[in-house]
Amino acid sequence: MGYCNALLNIKYFGFLYSSLKRRFREMIDDEEKKKEKRNEKLLTELCECYLLLNIGASSQLISVCVPCLLKAALKKDENEEAQKEVEMALLALSCIFSHYKIEKDLYLNEMKEIIQYHEKRHNLTRLAYQSAWQFLIILSFSTNYMFDVIVDEMNFVGEAKRELEELAKCVDWKREKEEKIKGKGRKEELVFQRWLQMFESFFVACNLWNKECSGLIESIVQVFLVSRDNHSEICILCVNLFETAAENRAVKLDALLKSGAIDAVFEEFLRPASNERMAFEFIYFFQLISMRLKEEKDDEMEEAKRKELKRKIFEKMEEEGYEDIITTFYEIIDFLNKKYFSELSLRISDYLVNS
């Protein structure tokens, strides 16, 4: 249950209020207090079950679970059984929320060892490797130092880009349209979605944008293009990432233009096949772009760049008839706000780059 709960991103709220949750907590406490006589395998499995099923845990339990699961994840055996144990431990760790402040001394060296060993020996499953990075990304929210280590020392962006491109080759993009094909590539698809969901946290926290980060956007654009006809969920995840990047002032809009993100979304926006959800995401994305382009810059060079970028985007949109399209969609903005509990602007000028 816990494995499926985490892998399928299902929130099972019933566990929060169950006597089973209290029983797990008591068993973990009892086993941890045994010290030398404790059953390490039992304690590991109890911690895994608790974190995989639980949406929140006490700081006291987190301080017990993290060292225990890291010890299990440090196994170097490459047989199938050991890989499964490591995968479960890392998957459970990836379920810990960002509001827990865990001292880096309790996990950083171990996680670096796990990831760097995998990069040399490839001993982890795809899910285990993604989970290891997710654990670090989640905890990086509590300290800028952690984020710098992940990006600079551990080359998160390069590894994430490589993994995304390799996983894209394993996904059956026509699975949704060919319902008879079941099971094949399903796990890789779910891991793929976990990477995309994790990128959102990265784009929110990233405060130093570089060429490598732009390369990651380019990879996401390619995923967007191959998924748009067959996998709406992944397609929407990609647009959400473009939105998150556009909201982050550290991300230069020029990066979104050169990576092809703006062109890709605009091209899809013009297609008649777009559904209400996609229309909502596209409108929101262009609202963000328009707002960013209207921001005044104190620095003269930055202001000149903004005006040039604004000119390029305006010319492209004018050429493709964007103003007519957004005017047509403007009629349903109020409806979309009510349906998706959003606050899209009701002023059409907020979507027009030339305003």
Note the pLDDT of residue 259.
92
183: pLDDT strictly greater than 60? no
Note the pLDDT of residue 285.
93
- Residue 237: count of CB within 10 angstroms of its CB: 22
Note the pLDDT of residue 142.
66
Closest Cα partner for 353 from 332, 319, 323, 320? 323
In angstroms, the CA 158 to CA 212 distance is 7
Give tens-digit pLDDT for 301-345: 778 888 888 888 888 888 878 888 888 888 899 999 999 888 899
Residue type, 17: Y
Note the pLDDT of residue 238.
95
Distances (CA, A) of 70 to 44, 77, 106: 10, 15, 9
> Tokens for 307?
């005006």
Distances (CA, A) of 237 to 70, 71, 228, 231, 282: 30, 34, 11, 10, 12
Mean pLDDT of the region 10-18: 73
Residue 102 belongs to some domain of the structure: yes
- On the 0-12 / 13-18 / 19+ scale of CB atoms within 10 A, 186 is middle
Q: In which residue are the tokens 């698809």 written?
A: 189
Residue 245 belongs to some domain of the structure: no
Note the pLDDT of residue 60.
82
Residue 346 belongs to some domain of the structure: no
Q: Indicate left, alpha or beta for 274 from its phi (over 0: left) and psi (-120 to 50: alpha).
A: beta
Compute the C-alpha angle 320/321/322, nearest 5°.
95
Residue 163 belongs to some domain of the structure: no
In angstroms, the CA 9 to CA 232 distance is 17
Q: Write out the residue range of the structural domain in which residue 49 sits.
A: 1-154
Closest Cα partner for 154 from 176, 178, 167, 137? 137
Residue 193 belongs to some domain of the structure: no
In angstroms, the CA 91 to CA 72 distance is 12
In 3-state terms, what secondary structure has residue 54?
Answer: coil
Give tens-digit pLDDT for 235-288: 999 999 999 999 998 888 888 989 999 999 988 887 766 678 888 998 999 999
Note the pLDDT of residue 170.
84
Residue 42 belongs to some domain of the structure: yes
Residue 318 belongs to some domain of the structure: no
Q: 290 near 350, Cβ under 8 Å? A: yes
**Dihedral sign from CA coordinates of 111, 113, 117, 123:** negative
Distances (CA, A) of 13 to 10, 17, 90, 184, 248: 9, 8, 22, 30, 32
> Tokens for 334?
């109020």
Give tens-digit pLDDT for 35-49: 788 899 999 999 998
Q: In which residue are the tokens 């490839």 written?
A: 122
Closest Cα partner for 317 from 285, 352, 347? 352
Residue 184 belongs to some domain of the structure: no
Q: 219 near 164, Cβ under 8 Å? A: yes
Domains in the chain: how many in total? 1
Q: What is the mean pLDDT of the chain?
A: 85
Note the pLDDT of residue 274.
67
**DSSP string covering 63-126:** HHHHHHHHHHHT----SHHHHHHHHHHHHHHTTS-TT----GGGTHHHHHHHHHHHHHH--S-H
The number of C-alpha atoms within 13 Å of 345 and in the hemisphere containing its C-beta is 16
